[in-house]
Amino acid sequence: MGRKKKPYYPSKVNRSGGRRGCLCPDGRTYSIKCCDGSLHAQGIGDITGTLPSGVSFIVSYRIRNCEDGHEHNAYTEDRVLPVGNVYYMELSNGHTGCYEILRKNGGKGLKITNEVLYDDCADCISNN
């Protein structure tokens, strides 16, 4: 019995003939020769890493302090905070305050150890 061939899904984004390398079928190397226009060739390869014991996922955010406007990268373990919401937060560096979730982010930053949801910055500040 022969080996089953993987389905081919054409891509409009990564066509052959470009200057950037593409993911090769081995899933580990990149080369211009592997740019065949397929979705597979757009892949970023194997992502490996270990999470702390008992943690199944981490979500990173860009947050802004409601009072002075400074921003941090911050993350949660095993919970998702909707973008646009305002929380009174305790951060791993000892800071506490009212923060708005600006966007999901790639940088890990400070751990959000506790958060309480509020309607907006004014409500959060007046209650804390």
Q: How do the domains of the chain map onto residue ranges?
A: 8-48, 58-127
Q: In 57-84, which positions are buried (b, 16+ CB within 10 angstroms) versus exposed (e)?
A: eeeebbbbbbeeeeebebbbeeeebeee
Q: Give the torsion sign (CA, 49, 58, 96, 86).
A: positive
Helix (H) or strand (E) run with residue 124 in it: helix 121-127
Q: What confidence score (pLDDT) does residue 9 get?
A: 55
Q: Write down the pTM of the prediction.
A: 0.61
| Both tokens assigned to 94 | 């000892």
**How would you class 10 by CB atoms within 10 Å of its CB: exposed for 0-12, middle for 13-18, buried for 19 or more?**
exposed
The residue type of 82 is P
Q: In the chain, which residues have pLDDT < 50?
A: 45-46
Q: What confidence score (pLDDT) does residue 45 get?
A: 47
